[in-house]
Every structure is written in C-alpha cells, then in structure tokens.
Amino acid sequence: MEIILKQDIRSLGYTNDIVNVKAGYARNYLIPKGYAIAATETNRKILAENLKQKSFKEEKIKKEAETLAKALDGITVKIGAKAAETGKIFGSVNNIQITAAIKQQFNYDIDRKKIIVDGEHIKELGTYSAEVNLHKDIKVNISFEVFAE
C-alpha cells in the first residue's frame, strides 16, 4: 500500500515522501496515529500543489536574503560603549547590541540569533567581524567597530 508521510519516520522516510508499506502497518498504525495518509489520486494532487507552493515561498525567502546580503556586504557598524582609559569595556558587546546598531544605522531588521560574533564576548575597543546567517546557503561577514562613548 502506498502512503504519504505527514512527518519524518526514522525507518521509512521523510515528510511528504510517498512510500510503499504493508497494508496492515499502514491501516493499523501509521494512518490512525496521524503519521501518514493514503496515497490516493486526490492526496497526490494536494501533495504536488503543497510542494509547489512551498518551493515558491522558499525561493522568495532566498531572493530576499540575497538582496539583504548585497546590502550588508562591506558595511561597518559603529557601536558605542563605556570604556576605561585602558580600552577595556565595562560589560561586553554581543549580538543584541549589533542587531540594534544595524537597525538604528542602516534600518535593516536582522534577527539577533542569526548573528555569530567571532569570539564569545567583545570586551575591548577595536574593530571586529561577525557572520550573519541570512539563509542556510547565504552568509555575510560584517565588520563592527567598538568605540568609547
């Protein structure tokens, strides 16, 4: 019996895969538990349309990420911090402050979880770099300068 998986099942396949299993396994376990649906002609058409829409949405998200990557390429973000005369910062600079500075200076809204700072904490004045993961295939390096206020 052919079924369409509604979620990943370790020994069978991944979501939206059409797999062939024994009829008893499908009728008594997979379908009642909601792990799969029968692969009828109607369900196949619905699956095809859903996959088509999903790929269209993913393509749109990827194009937006590419546009943002081109805009972010080569920018330098300036972040002010209170510092001692020796150049040590009171506290540290993290991805939350970088996100806020990008929003304030360039008006780009980036999720703080997508910014990875080289090193864990920035505790001195200077110029540093960070990686911005806009999409699973698109990454951009930005530089930021920490200066004394």
Sign of CA pseudo-dihedral 68, 73, 78, 81: positive
Helix H, strand E, coil C: the string for 58-81 is HHHHHHHHHHHHHHHCCCEEEEEE
Match 């939206």 to its residue by tokens: 16
Domain boundaries along the sequence of the chain: 2-63, 69-148
**Confidence (pLDDT) at 79:** 93
Low-confidence ranges of the chain (pLDDT < 70): 120
CATH number listed for the domain at residues 69-148:
3.10.430.100
**Confidence (pLDDT) at 135:** 87
**Top-tier CATH class for 2-63:** alpha beta
Judging by DSSP bridges, how do beta strands 18-20 and 2-5 pair with one another?
antiparallel
